[in-house]
Chain A
Amino acid sequence: MALELRSVTKRIGGIQHIKPVNLRLEPGHFNVLLGETGAGKTSLIKLMAGLDRCATGQIMMDGRDVTALSTQKRNISLVHQFFVNYPHMSVFDNIASPLRVAGMARSEVEARVEEAADLLQLKPMLRRRPHELSGGQQQRTALARAIAKESNAVFLDEPLANLDYKLREELRDQLPDLFAGRGAVVVYATSEPEEALLLGGRTGLMHDGRVTQFGPTAEIYRNPRDLISAEVFSDPPINAAQIQKQGSEARLNANVKWTLTGQAADLTDGPYTVAVRPHHVSPVKSTDDAVPMMGTVQVTELNGSESSAHFLLGNDSWVSLAAGVHPYRVGEDHRFFMDASKCFYFGPDGTLAA
């Protein structure tokens, strides 16, 4: 099964909610949709699931046009961020419900429910009602329903968002195995870049109703196509600042300048936007060509083994994320080092230049 979107759009009250989206989603790996709340992930999923109609464009499943096909006929599953189960039915009946609606034989239904329940460790809870389960178990019930159904496409819309940290990690680790070898296209929407990196075979970055970049997750993390894609796929937010390129020198301000190497050196002179991920800005000089910069520390956070500092450099707010505990003092100037080899350079139109 492959799911293909051809110039799909969606309008709500005259406003274009989804701008033309072209995607080809394949089975065998997770397809992550990464974007902030309101980027259009859920809207796009609803279009693919057939819960909403596209304004224009086509949706193809295995080369067959399903744009006008009802949700039911597309044979898909959807797992929401909050736990949707029939409150009145036991876990068993919940998992079995789509199979029964499809008119499947009793023995087959039981076999499939057993298998799905086994995979999701729900066996002891099959007779219980959803409200007698923990949040994690409720969400596993919803996942088991999606698995037992053996649908063509499974849409997971931030399925872990309402679980606590521990459960989230546990379930996230299990997810890829659950769907491996089932031949379904798995689409996973999330707002956390880290989840995309942990899960994603392929990731589509979404911003303002548009898929700005789609490709193998590691590849698009390393090579953002434009500034927006780089911003979407970075947490904490990527640092971006205006520079002036002249000859082989990049100049951020009077004090911060560095020598460009490689592709960046060949760019035509002019204004560019430099972007560098927070963990490539460190209070420790790690490489010889690291660029020193003085910033006024505004906010600091210590999360376990990492220290982060927000500092003001000119008019720009920068973030540094470094391993170890670093003694920052809020309000004081501190020296940071930027790894110039990890910088992205974007042209005035926002696309990656080098």
Chain B
Amino acid sequence: MTMLLVEGLSKRYRDHQVLTEVAFGVGRSEIVGLVGQSGSGKSTIAKCILGLERPHVGRILWHGESLSERTVRRRARRGMQAVFQDPRSSLNPRWTVRQLLSEPLDNWLPAERGVIRLARLARLLDRVALSADLLDRHPHELSTGQCQRVCIARALAPEPDLLILDEPLSALDVSVQARLIELLLDLHRTSGISYLLITHDFAVVADICQRIVVLDKGNVVETGKVDDVLSRPTHAYTQALLRDVLPMPG
């Protein structure tokens, strides 16, 4: 069954149509890449899914129920978490890693305290390959890569089914990107978590994703398995994008 289903999603800012009848889905344990250039509407889709923007037309279903229902939204807030592009500004600079990771846990496991909580925090950091020694550090005392790992750990805290990753690697240098891709794949293998990866980078999509949705000016122009789309793109826009970033076969 499709876990997240976006149906006929349209969004307009004043006279500017940002999204037009966008439709796609993310299944259980699936990694879907949402690809497009800047301004194609990728992040607006993420905001609509996360409830930060309200679509004008269309609906978003979470496990078959509409996210416009309050109770469904509440369930979805635990089941789907987000990681944004800039890890530094995604973390409250005045909080320690302990506070940052504890916040979602306080929401979902309010009774958990003391040693049990500490063990959970250490486990969370371990899952993203960070040491528990960092618990009392502030974001500015960490590298950008470490900050993004903390963001991922925080997103993993409520044990979600889906992570929405909005350009999670673009603020990082290439070597850190490679390690984070490895980490994301490892988490997917061990926990079966699904990803909706929003990116403009086909190389990252090729590394991580199983399925791809190509977006151009708010319209889905192509969708399919990653290997198929990357090797035999049917839409001119996808072909042009691929020509820019990947060497075309033949």
A binds B: no
